[in-house]
Amino acid sequence: MGITISGRLILASASPRRIELLKLMGLDFDIMPGNIDETFRPGETAQAHVLRLSEEKALSAALRHPDAWVLGADTIVVVSGEILGKPRSPAEATEMLEKLSDRTHEVFTGFCIIRQDRGVRIREVVGSAVIFREITPDEMAWYTGTGEPYDKAGAYAVQGMGSCFIREICGSCTNVMGLPLCEVVDALKRVKAIHFEK
């Protein structure tokens, strides 16, 4: 029983959340993060941005390993049209949490699967809506003091202590974590990269 991979699988990301999610599926894979420029291009939408970055990450490993399945992904948080990156200080984290408090925001993850020697390239974007309850100043001070917000887009972790602020998620929960497992597994099955064994 388990999942068989038809060849080598490479995750072109060092994200602990993405690593955790793939391990949850019982997949065997190598980690090769791509060193790419993540600057926004003029006029680029959030969806176009995560799609481009996921493809660039995957391509960076796929060009070096053309006979492997390579998965790249990128996640972004958007509230009222404003893109929230990863906070670098308690002040920045507090500012982001204030913007998310008692509001709905969107999380977009772009993912790309490439296998160069077979000419396979799948690119998809998955969106989820996340509704936060009101976060009080003392809760913000507590949370920013935990250290959890600082490597997370939008300054919170859905799978961590930040989950106590989430009233509702409309769409994929794993997408909010950084990798929409349902869609990724569907895509890997579609190109016969993985097979489920009884």
Across 86-97, average pLDDT = 96
Residue 54's nearest CA partner among 42, 43, 66, 70 is: 70
Residues sharing a CB contact under 8 Å with residue 147, sequence separation 6 or more, in sequence order: none
- pLDDT tens digits, one per residue of 104-113: 999 999 999 9
- pLDDT tens digits, one per residue of 19-74: 999 999 999 999 999 889 888 899 999 999 999 999 999 999 999 999 999 999 99
Q: Is the pLDDT of residue 168 over 90?
A: yes
The per-residue pLDDT for 197 is 85
Q: Is the pLDDT of residue 198 over 80?
A: no
Q: Is the pLDDT of residue 158 over 80?
A: yes
The per-residue pLDDT for 1 is 66
pLDDT band at 93 (very low <50, low <70, confident <90, very high): very high
Residues sharing a CB contact under 8 Å with residue 74, sequence separation 6 or more, in sequence order: 38, 49, 50, 53, 54, 57, 109, 110
Global pTM reads: 0.93
Catalytic residues, by residue number, are: 74
Q: Is the pLDDT of residue 134 over 70?
A: yes
The per-residue pLDDT for 131 is 98
Cβ–Cβ < 8 Å for 106, 132: no
Across 125-135, average pLDDT = 98
Return mean pLDDT, the chain.
Answer: 95
Residue 12's nearest CA partner among 189, 194, 179 is: 179
Instruction: Provide the sign of the torsion angle of the four alpha carbons 56, 154, 85, 81, taken in this order.
Output: positive
